[in-house]
Amino acid sequence: MALFGKSRDRTTAPSADELQALIDVFEDQIRTQENLLYGAALFFEAISILHEGHDAIIETYRKQLRNVIHTGRDNIQRAAALLGEVRADPSGAALLRQFTFNPFQGHPDPAGMQKRAQLFLETYKRIFPSRPRDREFTPEETLQLVDATARRYQELETA
């Protein structure tokens, strides 16, 4: 029994194969979180074009996105730090299983925002398969992304 409650869950280290499998899964989860944040940024790009001239609407979405991205990046950084700790000391591997990713925490509709982000990301990958993420969109590219995403959304809703 620990004097101040349960201490960090440190047990015997897993086998090398188990550890690598756990690390691989956790790295995939981190990449998924990064992708979701990018999908949210794509959604905001669309909102900015669709509501051009409606500054109050854009500012509301900007605040929500800023909060989501800040929280998401913090979560990703904590996950990466934990991964580094486990690589240095595999006895903490159980902590990787216990880590909780909370995409879109703080957003008024986290599940809805996650679906939008996933849809924008999937559409982006389909219509711009080799496009670097750091390249800015032209207004035409943004409209192309919005149009393709809206069509895909309609397909999913009617299926």
Q: What is the DSSP letter of 43?
A: H
Domain holding 138, by residue range, is: 16-158
* Residue with token string 């069509």: 151
Please write the tens of the pLDDT for every residue from 54-74: 888 888 888 888 889 999 999
Domain count, the chain: 1
- Whether 85 is in a domain gets the answer yes
Average pLDDT, the chain: 88
Query: Taking the model in full, what pTM does it have?
Result: 0.82
Report the distance separating Cα 80 and Cα 54, nearest Å: 38
- Whether 4 is in a domain gets the answer no
At 124, give phi and psi (nearest 5°). Answer: -55, -50
Please write the tens of the pLDDT for every residue from 83-133: 999 999 999 999 999 999 988 988 889 999 999 999 999 999 999 999 999
